[in-house]
Structure 1
Amino acid sequence: MSGPPTAEAAVPAAAPLVPALATAWPVGTRPRVTRGWEPPASAYGPGHRGVDLATAAGAPVRAVAAGRVSFAGRVAGRGVVSVALAGTALRTTYEPVTGTVRAGDEVAAGDRVGTVEATGGHCVTPCLHWGLLSGETYLDPLSLLPPWLRSTGPSRLLPLTEPPPGRGTGHLR
C-alpha cells in the first residue's frame, strides 16, 4: 500500500552518478568557489543547493554543456536561466543572470546564456549561483566538471621515491 509521497522521498539515499559533461566553468577560468554545495537533509531542509562562484557584475555566463534552455526569466526578483542538458535528465541553473536566451533555444557548450546581474543574489559581492538538478533532486554542479578542470588549486609534484633519512616525508606542504 502506498500513500502520497513525502518531502523526505525527494532526497535520495545516494545521489545519482553525474557524467562529467562540462567543458568549461560557467564564468571565467577556475573561478573561486565562495560557497560550496551543502545538500539538504530533506526536500525543504536548510542547505545550499548549488555553488557560488566569484565573478564581476556584467560577466558573461556560458552554458557548461550542450542542451536546450528550459527557462529564462525572473524568479523572486532574480534573473534565472535553466538549461536541460542534452541526452540526460539533468538541468543546470544560473542566477542572478540577465538572460540573452529564451526558453526553447538550443545552446552548445560555451555559448553565452546571459550576464551576471549586479544585485539580486545572496552573495555579499557579485557571484554566480550555479545549480544542478536531476528531476527535483539537487546535486553538486562541480560533479559535471572533469577532475582536471574541477581542481581549483595549483598542481603539486611529489617525489617518486622516499627521501633520504632525516629529510622529512617527501610531501610538499
Structure 2
Amino acid sequence: MKPLTILTVPGLGSSGPQHWQTRWEQQHGCRRVEQHNWEQPVCADWVAALDAAVSAVAGPVVLVAHSLACATVAHWAATATRPVAGALLVGPADVDRRAQLPEVRGFAPMPSARLPFASIVVASENDEYVTLARAQEFAAAWGSRLVNVGALGHLNSESGLGLWPIGWELVQELVAGSVEQL
C-alpha cells in the first residue's frame, strides 16, 4: 500500500511561520500546495494548482484547507478526476458575502454540491470571514461533519493555535477513515 500524503492548502496570502499549517508541515511532514499568486488569487489558477498537486501524489491524499482554500477545494471537487480520501476544511471564507475582501470575489458563488469524499468543516463562533450559521450551511451542503471550536477567530496565526492538536486529531480521524476504505 502506498503511503498517505497530507496536503495543506493555504488561503489568501498563504500561511506564515506561526500558522498551524506551516507548523504541521514542519512537525508532521505535510506538503503544501503552492499557488502562483497568493495575494491576487484567480479561482481557475488555484483549482489547477490543487489538481496538479493532487495528481503528483502516487498514493492516497487528505487535504487540509484553510479559509479561501476551502472554496478552492469545493470548486476542485466539482471537476476532479482523481479522488482524495478526505478533507479538513477550516474557517471557510464566505466568498458570497458582499462585504468580503475583493480578492476572494472571483471564487463566488460558493459551490454547494456534496463533496465526493469524507470531510469535516471546522468553524469558530467569532470568525470575521464566515458566520457560524454560514459555516453550518456549507457543512450541510457538502455532506461534512461540522466541528464548532468556540470563539477562536479565523483559526489562523492570530488565533495563537500553535500546533493546534485538536485540528491534528481531526486530520487523524480522516486518515483512519481512509485507511479503512483501502
Q: By the TM > 0.5 criterion, same fold?
A: no
Query: TM-score, normalising length from structure 2?
Result: 0.27
User: Which protein is bigger by CA-based radius of gyration?
Assistant: 1
- Higher normalized strand content (fraction of residues): 1
Query: TM-score, normalising length from structure 1?
Result: 0.27
- Higher normalized helix content (fraction of residues): 2
